Amino acid sequence: MAGRLMSLISAFLVASAWASVGHGQLADPTRPPAALLAPAPDASAAEAAASGLQSVILRRQGKPAALINGEVVELGGKVGEARLVKIAEDAVVLRGPQGEETLRLTPAAEKKVGAGGTVKKGAPGTDRKEGGR
């Protein structure tokens, strides 16, 4: 009986010690590393723009625009030192001091023409056929 009581007391002491560590000191395992949360201090505007095309806005009326690095930039607008000179369905072209640069929404995606002339979008190696099996 004394052995069981000592086991319960020691288990309680271990649990109490663990609880006293505090939840504030435990790291969140789902939080991205700090290096990914903060932009690199020496990144140039062209490098930031090269990785920042998020969406293309093709309007019925008015200028088309693109969402680059969280900012809406209309055709002819500037991103850093570069000017937005062309907007397509899946890409934009920036022209700056270092020449033209094409930013794509999904660099690995290719357009495939399916049966009947319809356009299919898919990553390389995922060709889909319509019609015959």
Could you tell me the residue ranges of all domains in the chain? 44-128
Indicate whether 128 pLDDT > 70. Answer: no
Per-residue pLDDT of 15-26, as tens digits, reads 666 555 555 567
Indicate whether 89 pLDDT > 60. Answer: yes
**Residues 11, 17, 23, 27, Cα dihedral to 10°:** -90
CB 115 within 8 A of CB 121: no
| Cα–Cα distances in angstroms (integers) from residue 67 to residues 55, 59, 74, in the given order | 5, 13, 9
* pLDDT score at 1: 67
* pLDDT score at 99: 94
C-alpha span between 75 and 101 (Å, rounded): 15
C-alpha span between 15 and 3 (Å, rounded): 18
C-alpha span between 24 and 11 (Å, rounded): 23
What letter represents residue 49's amino acid?
A
Per-residue pLDDT of 108-122, as tens digits, reads 666 677 776 655 555
CB 58 within 8 A of CB 64: yes
Per-residue pLDDT of 45-67, as tens digits, reads 545 444 578 999 998 998 999 99
